[in-house]
Amino acid sequence: MATAPETHSDPAPAAIDTRLIEARQRAFQSIDPAAAFAHFRPQAEAVSRVGLAVFNADAAVVHGNVKAAVSVLGPRLHEAARHLVDPPYVTVLELPSLALALVHAANRVPGKKLSEGEIAEALSELAPWRALALRYLEVASDPKLDLLPAERVRAVRSGTGPLDLAGDAVVLSDLFAEYGESLEGKHPFQPHHLSRMAELGATLLQSIKPARSPATPSERQPAAVLRDQFAALLVARYEALRLCASAVLGPTQAAAAIPALRASAGHAAVAATADTPTG
C-alpha cells in the first residue's frame, strides 16, 4: 500500500519572534546619508560630552564593518529570541543606517584649513549651489505649499559675505535633511549635492574664521563634537549586535565572525566569512 511521503515542517517560521516582524516595520532604515544623519542626530546629541573620545578612524571602513556584521547575523537574528528575554532587534536593524549617519557626520568636519586660493575656489563652487538650494526652499516654504517653516529659510537669506555663505551651506543641507520627509520626491537635489555643499561650508567656516577668535589646539569644533557623539552612539549600539551574535553563534564563533568596528578591510573580510562552513 502506498504511503504518503513523510513531510518535515520547517521550525524556523514558527520560531521567528513576532517582535522581530514588528521591529522590521519600526526600524529606521535608509541609504540616504543626510536622512540618516537627521534621524539619529537628536540621539547623538544626547550623548554626554564628558570624556567623549575623539573619533579618528575611517567612517567608511566602520560603515563597511557594520554592514558585514549585520550580513552575518541577519539570517539568524530570529534565533536570538531563544536565548534573550528582550532581543534588541530594532537596535541591530538600524545599525547600518546609524553607521551611514556617522559617515555623513564625519564628512561635515573640515579636514584642513584652505589657502586663500582654495578658499576662493571653494566659494566659487559653493555660491551657485547655495543660491539654487535657497531659491528652491523659499518656494517650498511658501504658505501655499508649506513644506517647511518660512522663517527658517528667511533666516538663511538675511546674511551676506563669505562667512555667511559658508554657514548657509551647512544650514541649507541640514534643512533638507530635517524636512526630508515632506520634501522627498519634490526637489532635484541628489544626496551627494547636499553632502558636498555641507562639506564645503564646514571647511570654509574653519578656514575663514576671524583671526581675532582662533580656536585653541585642544578645542573641538561643533561638527567634530557631533561626529564623536555619533561614533560613541554607534559603539554603544554595536554591543547589542555582539550580544545577539554571541547568543546565536556562541561566544567563540561570534568573536571570529563579527568584525571589530575599526577593523581593516582585510580583517573584516576574514571575519565576514568565518561563519561560512567549509567542505
Domain ranges of the chain: 26-108+225-273, 116-220
Count CB-CB contacts under 10 A for residue 156.
Answer: 19
- Give the pLDDT confidence score for residue 147 in this predicted structure: 92
Angle 244-102-107 (CA atoms, 0-180°, nearest 5)? Answer: 160
Amino acid identity of residue 272, one-letter, is A
Which residues make Cβ contacts (< 8 Å) with residue 76, sequence separation at least 6?
248, 249
Q: Is the dihedral of CA 76, 78, 82, 86 positive or negative?
A: positive
The Cα–Cα gap between 176 and 190 comes to 11
- Considering only residues 157 and 126, tell me which one the structure prediction assigns the higher pLDDT: 126
Q: Which of 175, 78, 69, 72 is nearest to 130 (CA)?
A: 175
pTM attached to this predicted model: 0.61
Average pLDDT on 46-73 reads 90
Question: 49-53, 196-200, 266-270: which range is least confident on average?
Answer: 266-270
Question: When comparing pLDDT for 213 and 93, which is higher?
Answer: 93
CA dihedral 58, 122, 226, 271 (to 10 degrees): -20
What does the CA dihedral 33, 34, 40, 44 come to, rounded to 10 degrees? 100
pLDDT, tens digit, 9 for 90 and up, residues 86-129:
889 999 999 999 999 999 998 888 766 778 888 899 899 999 99
Is residue 268 pLDDT above 60, yes or no?
no
User: How many Cα atoms within 13 Å fall on the side-chain side of residue 279?
Assistant: 0
Task: Using the CB atoms, write b or e for 15-40: b if 16+ within 10 Å.
Answer: eebebbeebeeeeeebebbbbbbbbb
Concatenated DSSP letters of 90-144 = HHHHHHHHHHHHHHHHHHTS--SPPPHHHHHHHHHHHHHHHHHHHHHHHHHTSTT
Exposure of 3 by Cβ count < 10 A (0-12 exposed, 13-18 middle, 19+ buried)?
exposed
